[in-house]
């Protein structure tokens, strides 16, 4: 997972200051030394780190923090706000032309994920934004690019405009936009030529394409795994072409996150979307504030909720939430929730979005596969009604009986009971955090 190293280090550092009733300038300096190292190790641009540390320090030793009743928490709030600001402050939304179609030019170096991302973006536009997109195959140089886009289009059931590789890209774009106007498409996504390196021929072609198609957005697709190189690529493209947004791909990989944290600050190009995997639904809107929360271990409940809204049975979800809130959550609900959660995606990814989840031992590494779920079901089904509601009555002899009934070892029954307890603890923590947050007016 991206940012894992950075997140771990930052969280350890801020943990030390969190509960402090008094924070001295020396405390802040010490913390910021650690933060500085953590950011540099995450491959964040040197100058960006320097400015960031300076800003946080200025604010953190200022009156607003030192005089407050919870200076430790205030310092963390400053870090979170500045981290959010670094990544662009608020979400930068995709343009909508008032004279449709909205034209988007997709640019980037070969291998960055441009063609895949073009497909993913059309899927997101249709699914989340209810738009009608047209894909345009204008990368006539990379031999497989046209075929690749056509295959993506077929998979997604989204039309692809192509004239083969013998017509100039500019002509392809022109005709595609005409067609889009006639047939009332909302968005035209042009997959332009990529190259291995930035060269004059590429830039000239892209400039011509820009002139002819008059795009509302020029999205640069960059590979987050390339760290500072991604930032340099963005800078060159921006200087020569003018880029309106960056899409960072491969953020699911083992990247340190430097590109995500530097691009906006260095080039002023906002990050609009992030690629979180190879699958066609793994492109997400980029929210600086949510990303900052994730990095600081405060979770990303909003994204989790959005995911849930798209997949989960709303009525059941409401019932479950009520039960969590009132602590009347039983093993039957646990089963029900397992079924719902499985629809959402990999569990470890979901857990990483929960606030403080990484601090609960065992939860971070919890992986559930189909077989294990069957075992869990068998164990729960071997419990009596009363045991499901009040698991605390399950003593040694009851455990033995449940183990026998489900055909699973007693240790497994123990493990499940322990996990259930941990889960309840977490709900409790979340509920009390929410209440506190509401009272104070911010989210801690």
User: Which residues of the shown chain bind ligand GDP in the complex (CB under 6 A)?
Assistant: 108, 110-117, 194, 249-250, 252-253, 275-278
Q: Is 36 annotated as a binding residue?
A: no
Q: How far is the CB of 391 from ligand GDP (least distance, A)?
A: 40
Q: How far is the CB of 275 from ligand GDP (least distance, A)?
A: 2
Q: Is the Cβ–Cβ distance between 75 and 295 less than 8 Å?
A: no
Burial of 3 (0-12, 13-18, 19+ CB in 10 A): buried
112 in a labelled binding site: yes
Please check if 111 is assigned to a binding site.
Answer: yes
252 or 313: whose CB is closer to ligand GDP?
252
State both tokens at 418: 């322990």
Was 15 annotated as part of a binding site? no
Nearer to ligand GDP, 275 or 297 (CB): 275
Backbone phi and psi for residue 381, each to the nearest 5 degrees, phi listed first: -65, -20
Nearer Cβ to ligand GDP, position 254 or 322? 254
**What is residue 61's three-state secondary structure?**
coil
Nearer to ligand GDP, 117 or 238 (CB): 117
Task: Give me the least distance between CB of 106 and ligand GDP, in Å please.
Answer: 9
User: Rounded distance, CA 182 to CA 143, Å?
Assistant: 30
Please report where in the chains the tokens 């995450």 appear, as a residue.
Answer: 42
Decide if 14 contacts 20 (C-beta within 8 A).
Answer: no
> Residue 200: enclosing H or E segment and its boundaries?
helix 200-213
Between 108 and 245, CB nearer to ligand GDP: 108
Which residues are 223's β-sheet partners?
249
**Residue 279 CB, nearest distance to ligand GDP (Å)?**
9
Joined together, the tokens standing for residue 279 give 């699958």
Residue 355 CB, nearest distance to ligand GDP (Å)? 25
User: Cα–Cα–Cα angle for 339, 344, 348, nearest 5°?
Assistant: 95
Nearer to ligand GDP, 41 or 278 (CB): 278
Largest Cα–Cα distance of the chain, in whole Å?
78
Q: Is 250 annotated as a binding residue?
A: yes
Torsion of CA 326, 426, 431, 86, to 10 degrees: -160
**Is 43 marked within a binding site?**
no
Say if residue 191 carries a ligand binding annotation: yes
Among the listed residues 105, 144, 384, the one whose alpha carbon sits nearest the alpha carbon of residue 245: 105
| Edge-to-edge strands, sheet with 102-107 | 160-161, 133-137, 187-191, 102-107, 217-223, 245-249, 271-275, 283-285
18 annotated as a binding-site residue: no
Minimum distance of ligand GDP from residue 282's CB (angstroms): 6
Closest residue to ligand GDP, based on beta-carbon distance: 275
Q: Closest distance between ligand GDP and the C-beta of residue 148, in Å?
A: 6
- Closest distance of CB 1 from ligand GDP, Å: 12
Q: Which is nearer to ligand GDP, 59 or 290 (CB)?
A: 290
195 is known to lie in a ligand binding site: yes
> Closest Cα to residue 354, out of 407, 404, 302?
302
**Residue 273 or 334: which CB sits closer to ligand GDP?**
273
Joined tokens for residue 11: 């969280």
**Rounded to an integer, what is the distance from CA 254 to the centroid of its chain?**
14
* Residue 192, marked binder: yes
Residues annotated in a binding site for GTP: 108-115, 191-195, 249-252
């Amino acid at each position: 997972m991206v940012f894992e190293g950075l997140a771990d280090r930052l969280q350890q550092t801020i943990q030390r200051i969190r509960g402090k009733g008094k924070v001295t300038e020396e405390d802040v300096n010490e913390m910021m030394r650690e933060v500085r190292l953590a950011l540099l190790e995450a491959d964040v641009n040197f100058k960006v780190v320097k400015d960031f540390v300076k800003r946080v320090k200025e604010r953190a030793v200022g009156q607003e923090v030192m005089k407050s009743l919870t200076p430790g928490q205030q310092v963390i709030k400053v870090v979170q706000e500045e981290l959010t600001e670094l990544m662009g402050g608020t979400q930068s939304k995709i343009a909508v032309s008032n004279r449709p179609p909205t034209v988007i030019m997709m640019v980037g170096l070969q291998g960055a994920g441009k063609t895949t991302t073009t497909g993913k973006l059309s899927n997101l536009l249709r699914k989340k934004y209810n738009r009608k997109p047209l894909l345009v195959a204008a990368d006539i140089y990379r031999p497989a690019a046209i075929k690749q886009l056509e295959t993506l289009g077929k998979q997604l059931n989204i039309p692809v405009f192509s004239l083969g590789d013998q017509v100039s890209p500019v002509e392809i774009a022109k005709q595609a936009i005409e067609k889009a106007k006639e047939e009332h498409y909302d968005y035209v996504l042009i997959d332009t030529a990529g190259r291995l390196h930035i060269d004059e021929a590429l830039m000239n072609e892209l400039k011509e394409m820009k002139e002819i198609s008059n795009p509302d957005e020029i999205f640069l697709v960059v590979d987050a795994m390339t760290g500072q190189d991604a930032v340099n690529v963005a800078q060159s493209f921006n200087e020569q072409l003018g880029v309106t947004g960056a899409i960072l791909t491969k953020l699911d990989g083992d990247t340190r996150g430097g590109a995500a944290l530097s691009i906006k600050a260095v080039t002023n190009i906002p990050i609009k979307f992030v690629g979180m995997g190879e699958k066609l639904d793994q492109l997400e809107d980029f929210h600086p504030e949510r990303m900052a929360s994730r990095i600081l271990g405060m979770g990303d409940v909003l994204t989790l909720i959005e995911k849930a809204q798209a997949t989960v049975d709303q009525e059941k979800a409401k019932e479950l939430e009520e039960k969590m809130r009132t602590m009347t959550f039983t093993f039957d609900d646990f089963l029900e929730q397992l079924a719902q959660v499985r629809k959402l995606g990999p569990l470890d990814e979901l857990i990483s979005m929960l606030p403080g989840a990484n601090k609960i031992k065992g939860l971070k590494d919890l992986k559930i596969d189909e077989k294990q779920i069957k075992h869990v079901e068998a164990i729960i089904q071997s419990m009596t009604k009363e045991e499901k509601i009040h698991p605390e009555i399950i003593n040694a002899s009851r455990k033995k009986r449940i183990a026998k009934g489900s055909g699973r070892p007693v240790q497994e029954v123990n493990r499940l009971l322990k996990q259930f307890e941990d889960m309840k603890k977490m709900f409790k923590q979340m509920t009390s955090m929410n209440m506190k947050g509401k009272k104070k007016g911010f989210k801690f």
